[in-house]
Chains A and B, each alone.
Chain A
Amino acid sequence: MTLATNPSVAEAAEEVETSRRHRSYGRYVLGKVLGSLASLAFVLVVNFFLFRVLPGDPARNLSRGRFVSKGQLAAFNKTYGLDQSVPQQFLTYLNNTLHGDLGISIKYRVPVSQLILDRLWPTLLLVGTSTILAAIIGVWLGIRGAWKRGGAFDKASTGTSLTLYSMPEWWLGLLLIAVFAVGWGPIPGIFPTGGLHSVDAQPGTLSGVLDTAWHLTLPVITLTLAYLADYSLIMRSSLLDELGEDYLTTARAKGLRDIVVRNRHAVPNALLPTTTVIALSIGFVVSGAITIETVFSIPGLGLLGVDALETPDFWVLQGTFMVASAGVIAANLVANLLYGLLDPRVRT
């Protein structure tokens, strides 16, 4: 562009350049959106066949150990559309799912979509808070550890992260309940052992909100520690990747202070992979909540799914599975789009 002596030519060249960049990002977005739609279609198909083609007939499963007459079985199959042929069932299923109809819960006798909507917010509150906390603390730990690699702080934080990473998060939850909710030795149990709020809590008031926060303290700490391990290890290793780069030597040679080199030059580049990992992990909202909600008996999506195992409430299982997969696909898409925006090199 320096060759262009005429300013208007330079402007035009720049315009072409910008529009090309826009177009290439547009193509990148289009490709990713189409890919996500294909994944969604795949999940829709898997979801159907998982429950109908594999061994295990819903009607027979439900009546296991109970006396059921042929008439009752036929009536059950008719209510749930199981008397139709498989292709016919598949079409009905596709049509219903696309219209937001996920079937009716066998246990609760209400539409599954309604159940899922009701149970969504405790899960989002729990996992959302934990993800934000874990991201902040994890990134900070990773930066400190990598910058003074091999130091006492690094060794302690890496060791802790690896141990947390090797721990079933629900077991950590059990330990926290035993110590801080039940009480152990001199430590009094001050937190509730489970639930989302006290029986007499007034939702919507300040005391109601505080009551919920008090109930969510232990589960949020548990999940935060579990996620923290992942994030700090990723942040640490991506910052270590940057340490050998030439631009850091240049920055130091310019005489910049160590803290500026770290925060202005190294960290922004190292944050890229970490951002992707965090965005991806948000998609695993439901998975992450399953065990923690079970242990702390929080009425969220995870507990809904686990409870549905016992009946087994096939349509609830199928619905939660659908929501869980759709969440991952959406988060995947967001992570990809974000990465494409932050790092133009990946738009190929």
Chain B
Amino acid sequence: MSAVEGDGSTGVPATLSARQLARRRRRESFLRSWRIFRRNRSGMLGLVILAVFAFIALAAPLLASSQGLEVTQATGGVLEPPSSQYWLGTDDQGRSVLTLLIWGARISLFVGLAATVISMVIGTLIGLISGFSGGWAGAVLFRLTEWFLVIPFLPLAIVLATVLGRSLFNIVLVIGVTSWPGTALLIRSQTLSIKERAYIERARVLGAGRWHQMSRHVLPNVMPMVFANTTLTVAIAILAETTLSFLGLGDPTRVSWGSMLDDAFQVGAITTGAWWFIVPPGVCVVLVVLAFTLIGQALEEVLNPRLKGR
């Protein structure tokens, strides 16, 4: 649309400015990718599952009153099995499991997405700089990435969470700063291959500085890769949140799927057979993580047609 408006009142553009041209090209390539993506059945399945959970998380206040989260306002009995009043039974405090599940979606998705943003920013920056600038800076950053890669993720996250304390912000931070090395390596290898292309050399010959080359030429070309990697990272971040909360390292004031499972385990829901307290949160985690994984794989396929049919 902006392409048409470009020339003002006449409505017919004589020529398109470089920026408009680029925008149009980008939109076309996006639509092309979307058409390929739509043909991918598992990718679309992932998208549908994700849409459902995104709706639940956003509409949580409409679906269930937040008063249902207050232990003091609990109306049900202890670990009541599912009934017409409590569709998924109650927890050990008499709260509706369904209410907890709906509100837990918010925390689990928020932590997953926020941690991924941190991880992507660190990973992309380090990968880009270490790939683009050779010499000692690149070497140091590459070494740093390799080092962070060998530190086992869960122990480091546990230690960090213990040292920093238990809060929502800290758990996001911990997952974010421990999950970037994989992204950095991927972006680095992409950058290394893009760096050798002719148009970068052309830009360099025309006098483009390092910053211009990196931000205007390399970054837009690694962005699709970042995007595909992001969805896979969200899956890992949500799993990490669940595990850390299960180990009692989550924010004690918020309900997430992981903290529900921690509660269920602590009160012995397994031995008492209170399956409604154990199965639903786990199923939600599996569905959301699976959705992100399927979308990520489908995106990789769109970007790299060689992978088709995997």
Q: Indicate whether B248 reaches chain A with its CB closer than 8 angstroms.
A: yes
Q: How far is the CB of A47 from chain B (nearest CB, A)?
A: 9
A177 and B269 CA atoms in complex are apart in Å by: 11
Closest 10 CB pairs of A and B: A166-B289, A166-B290, A171-B282, A287-B154, A287-B152, A324-B155, A42-B147, A324-B152, A178-B270, A328-B150
What residue of chain B has the Cβ atom nearest to residue A51's Cβ? B163
B286 near A163 with CB under 8 A, answer yes
Identify which of B56-64, B92-100, B235-243 touches chain A.
Answer: B235-243
From the candidates B158, B248, B264, B293, name the one contacting A165 in the complex (CB within 8 A): B293
What total of chain B residues lie within 8 Å of the partner, measured CB to CB? 43
What residue of chain A has the Cβ atom nearest to residue B147's Cβ? A42
Q: How far is the CB of B182 from chain A (nearest CB, A)?
A: 13
Besides the known contacts A166-B286, A312-B162, 7 further A-B residue pairs in the complex with CB atoms under 8 A apart: A39-B146, A50-B159, A178-B275, A193-B270, A283-B150, A287-B153, A321-B159
From the candidates B165, B247, B290, name the one contacting A309 in the complex (CB within 8 A): B247
Which applies to chain A's interface (DSSP): helix, strand, loop or mixed?
helix
A321 near B156 with CB under 8 A, answer yes
B293 near A56 with CB under 8 A, answer no
B163 near A325 with CB under 8 A, answer no
Q: How far is the CB of A131 from chain B (nearest CB, A)?
A: 15
Please name all residues of chain B whose beta carbon is closer than 8 Å to the beta carbon of A312 when the two chains form the complex: 162
12 contacts between A and B (CB under 8 A): A43-B150, A165-B293, A166-B285, A166-B290, A167-B289, A193-B271, A290-B155, A321-B155, A324-B152, A324-B155, A325-B151, A329-B150
Please name all residues of chain B whose beta carbon is closer than 8 Å to the beta carbon of A193 when the two chains form the complex: 270-271
What total of chain A residues lie within 8 Å of the partner, measured CB to CB? 51
A304 and B43 CA atoms in complex are apart in Å by: 41
A305 and B158 CA atoms in complex are apart in Å by: 9
Q: Indicate whether B117 reaches chain A with its CB closer than 8 angstroms.
A: no
Q: Indicate whether B135 reaches chain A with its CB closer than 8 angstroms.
A: no
From the candidates A166, A237, A290, name the one contacting B154 in the complex (CB within 8 A): A290
Q: How far is the CB of A61 from chain B (nearest CB, A)?
A: 9
A320 near B155 with CB under 8 A, answer yes
Point out residues on B near A: beta carbons under 8 Å.
Answer: 143, 146-147, 150-156, 158-160, 162-165, 235, 239, 242-243, 246-249, 261, 264-265, 270-271, 273, 275, 278-279, 282, 285-286, 289-290, 293-294, 309-310
Q: How far is the CB of B147 from chain A (nearest CB, A)?
A: 5
Q: How far is the CB of B107 from chain A (nearest CB, A)?
A: 16
Q: How far is the CB of A54 from chain B (nearest CB, A)?
A: 5
From the candidates A51, A286, A306, A325, name the one contacting B150 in the complex (CB within 8 A): A325
A328 and B146 CA atoms in complex are apart in Å by: 12
Please name all residues of chain B whose beta carbon is closer than 8 Å to the beta carbon of A178 when the two chains form the complex: 270, 273, 275, 278
Q: Indicate whether A175 reaches chain B with its CB closer than 8 angstroms.
A: yes
From the candidates A55, A166, A290, name the one contacting B158 in the complex (CB within 8 A): A290
From the candidates B165, B235, B265, name the one contacting A295 in the complex (CB within 8 A): B265
A183 and B243 CA atoms in complex are apart in Å by: 25
A314 and B131 CA atoms in complex are apart in Å by: 38
Q: Indicate whether A224 reaches chain B with its CB closer than 8 angstroms.
A: no
From the candidates B163, B165, B278, name the one contacting A174 in the complex (CB within 8 A): B278
Q: Indicate whether A10 reaches chain B with its CB closer than 8 angstroms.
A: no
From the candidates A149, A168, A325, name the one contacting B239 in the complex (CB within 8 A): A168
Q: Which of B150, B156, B247, B248 has most chain A Cβ within 10 Å?
A: B150
Q: How far is the CB of B42 from chain A (nearest CB, A)?
A: 9
A292 and B227 CA atoms in complex are apart in Å by: 33
B248 near A309 with CB under 8 A, answer yes
A54 near B164 with CB under 8 A, answer yes
What residue of chain A has the Cβ atom nearest to residue B294's Cβ? A162
A309 and B155 CA atoms in complex are apart in Å by: 11
Q: How far is the CB of A302 from chain B (nearest CB, A)?
A: 9
A166 near B293 with CB under 8 A, answer yes
From the candidates A46, A170, A317, name the one contacting B243 in the complex (CB within 8 A): A170
A211 and B236 CA atoms in complex are apart in Å by: 36
Interface residues of A in 12-64 (CB under 8 A from B): 35, 38-39, 42-43, 46, 50-51, 54-56
Q: Indicate whether A294 reaches chain B with its CB closer than 8 angstroms.
A: yes
Q: Which of B146, B151, B282, B290 has most chain A Cβ within 10 Å?
A: B151
B279 near A175 with CB under 8 A, answer yes
A287 and B235 CA atoms in complex are apart in Å by: 18
Please name all residues of chain A whose beta carbon is closer than 8 Å to the beta carbon of B290 when the two chains form the complex: 162-163, 166
A324 and B152 CA atoms in complex are apart in Å by: 7
Q: How far is the CB of B162 from chain A (nearest CB, A)?
A: 6
What residue of chain A has the Cβ atom nearest to residue B264's Cβ? A174
Q: Given A39-B147, A294-B247, are A174 and B270 also a contact pair (CB < 8 Å)?
A: yes
Please name all residues of chain B whose beta carbon is closer than 8 Å to the beta carbon of A329 when the two chains form the complex: 150
Q: Given A42-B147, A309-B158, are A54 and B163 also a contact pair (CB < 8 Å)?
A: yes
A150 near B309 with CB under 8 A, answer yes
Q: Given A182-B271, A287-B153, A325-B151, are A174 and B243 also a contact pair (CB < 8 Å)?
A: no
A309 and B247 CA atoms in complex are apart in Å by: 9
Q: How far is the CB of A195 from chain B (nearest CB, A)?
A: 14
Q: Indicate whether A221 reaches chain B with its CB closer than 8 angstroms.
A: no
Q: Given A163-B290, A168-B246, A182-B271, are A305 and B164 also a contact pair (CB < 8 Å)?
A: no
Q: Indicate whether A153 reaches chain B with its CB closer than 8 angstroms.
A: no
A55 near B152 with CB under 8 A, answer no
What residue of chain A has the Cβ atom nearest to residue B143's Cβ? A38
Interface residues of A in 135-152 (CB under 8 A from B): 149-150
A175 near B278 with CB under 8 A, answer yes
Q: How far is the CB of B60 from chain A (nearest CB, A)?
A: 22
Q: Given A46-B151, A287-B152, A328-B150, are A168 and B242 also a contact pair (CB < 8 Å)?
A: yes
A168 near B152 with CB under 8 A, answer no
